Structure 1
Amino acid sequence: MAGGLFTQLAQGEVLHLTSDVTHVRRGARRHAFRYRVDYLLLVPDLARPRGLFRLGRAGLFSFCTMDHGGPRGNGKGAAWAWEVLGQAGLRREGAMTLALMVQPRFFGFWFNPVSFWMVLRGDDLLAVIAEVNNTFGQRHSYLCHNEGFTPIGPEDLMTTEKVFHVSPFQDVAGRYEFRFRVTPARLAILIRHTDGEEGLIATLNAAPRPLRQAGLLAAAFRRPGGALRVLALIYWQALRLRLKGVAYRRLPPAPPEEISR
């Protein structure tokens, strides 16, 4: 199986990731939660529809190119991601695959707190664009890579300044640290936000597997609502934070640049 699963992406296959997602808030008001969330890993320009999964039109689960890559609601998909990577110095080669890890639409409803554009060369991960959306209609992305775009290993740590308002219960301050373990058997992402004694640790762990109708039906019954459920859970956690007395921050202007490199 090693290598074969990612090779299938370039052949139009779609992978299903039933992901364990955790958030742990640090500081004076500690707060933590854990949920399961369904992601898909696909190559947008090559992915093929399959039964309950549709492309470009509503279905139980679906994917639309305009949801990603560039301005929110008017995205350019993979063309935008390749442009960003090229400006950062990555030379595009035929052996590379640009995959997107994304929560699909559910009956046409879309919301993705964070999606990940991943450049793969075989089983090697060369770069990641973390595409972050808040609940206020804004988007900002963070480009992660090693110097010279050497393969990213599980111990490699990439840091960047936090410039985008995600939660109204945290300041736009401090730094993000990213770690990625991406293999055909396991996909794990760690995002750590540090701001003095305050901050947040978020993790995502999943085992990629080929998309099957039984898996989509199980997701619809066990985690009904898909992206709508995720948005509802965000508001539920916000209510819990308010009840704990955490101060609410007003929405600041979006950063002038759409991506941090």
Structure 2
Amino acid sequence: MKVDLWSGALIDTAIWHARSGDIAREFRYRAVHVALPLAALEAGKLPLRLDRPGLWRLRRSDYGWRDGRLPSNFIADQLRSAGLEHCAITLVTMPRGLLHGFNPVSFWLARDDAGLRAVLAEVSNTFGERHCYLCHHADGRIIVPTDRMVAQKLFHVSPFLPRDGHYLFRFDAGPGRFGAWIDWIGENGETGLQTSMTGRARALTGPALWRAALRRPVQSLVASGLIHWQALKLALRGARYRSKPEQLDRTRSQTRDEGERDA
């Protein structure tokens, strides 16, 4: 039987980044993410619990408003503008490790009985800033794996890419798997960066979580280190470095369907 992300899951993910244009380069790495149904998480019914010690940890202050309030309050507020605040929520994220915590992107999946209605992509950079992209259809229809949604890029992530252009989002929420594809399209209309995070889902049990944490106790540190290592390689190959601009006051934006005009 395929594991449903809304029942809780471990996801053995393959992460891929491919840069094109002036300096073409790609890299891959593997990690284990968790899919955490929010109601069960906040009720303490999952093997991984909020603000508890362990090889892998999950802190309220790492998500949402980052002030210790419950994640459910944050995501309900984000979904209210789309009329989806009553959806069931599953958080797909990389837990904080024993010594370090860094999550390039976490995905808040919102669904009802019909299917996936929205995905909030909470993107973080290495400067401690974050921006949320709310992905959904304006007419409220369910999101299927072939759907493509577009949002203006408003957040500085890489010093080797400008803060302009658009992101193209695509999602597959299973059952039995998770996939997220985010491509950056420059102002010239060409795809300059492609990224994906895909993997099979397996049951989230106490023993399985413990084994995964033992195998990858510092995976968030590895992810952060790989990002900096790839940045160094780009710099050595002569990629243009862009200083970090001041973060915009607007820290949440919404997508439109591919082919629609910007609002």
| Superposition TM-score, scaled by structure 1 size | 0.88
Partner of 2:161 in structure 1? 170
Q: For residues 194-213 of structure 1, what are the structure 2 equivalents within 5 Å?
A: 194-195=185-186, 196=188, 197=190, 199-213=192-206
SS in 1 for 2:57: strand
String of CA shifts for 1:41-91, please: whole Å, max 9, x gaps. Answer: 10234224666x443122111212221112x46565221111111123325
Distance apart, 1:216 and its partner CA: 3.7
Relative to structure 1, the CA distance from residue 46 to residue 216 in structure 2 (aligned partners, 3 Å threshold; closer, same or farther) is closer
Structure 1: state its 5+ residue gaps. 9-13
Partner of 2:119 in structure 1? 128
Name the CA distance, whole Å, in 2 between partners of 1:154 and 1:50. 28
Q: Which moved more, 1:117-126 or 1:77-86?
A: 117-126
Out of 35, 53, 59, the residue aligned to residue 58 of structure 1 is 53
Maintained 8 Å contact 1:103/1:112: yes
Relative to structure 1, the CA distance from residue 218 to residue 245 in structure 2 (aligned partners, 3 Å threshold; closer, same or farther) is farther
Partner of 1:103 in structure 2? 94
Out of 131, 145, 149, the residue aligned to residue 154 of structure 1 is 145
Percentage of identical aligned residues: 36
String of CA shifts for 1:208-249, please: whole Å, max 9, x gaps. Answer: 111245544553454451211111111111111111111111
Equivalent position amino acid for 1:128 in 2: V
Maintained 8 Å contact 1:60/1:106: yes
SS in 2 for 1:235: helix
Q: Which moved more, 1:154-163 or 1:181-190?
A: 181-190
Partner of 2:130 in structure 1? 139
String of CA shifts for 1:107-159, please: whole Å, max 9, x gaps. Answer: 26321100001102247111000000000111101000012321101111100
Partner of 1:248 in structure 2? 241
Relative to structure 1, the CA distance from residue 123 to residue 144 in structure 2 (aligned partners, 3 Å threshold; closer, same or farther) is same
Equivalent position amino acid for 2:219 in 1: G
Q: For residues 232-247 of structure 1, what are the structure 2 equivalents within 5 Å?
A: 232-247=225-240
Structure 2: state its 5+ residue gaps. 255-263
Name the CA distance, whole Å, in 2 between partners of 1:116 and 1:22. 17
Partner of 2:260 in structure 1? none
Partner of 1:90 in structure 2? 84
Q: Which moved more, 1:209-218 or 1:32-41?
A: 209-218
Relative to structure 1, the CA distance from residue 160 to residue 105 in structure 2 (aligned partners, 3 Å threshold; closer, same or farther) is same
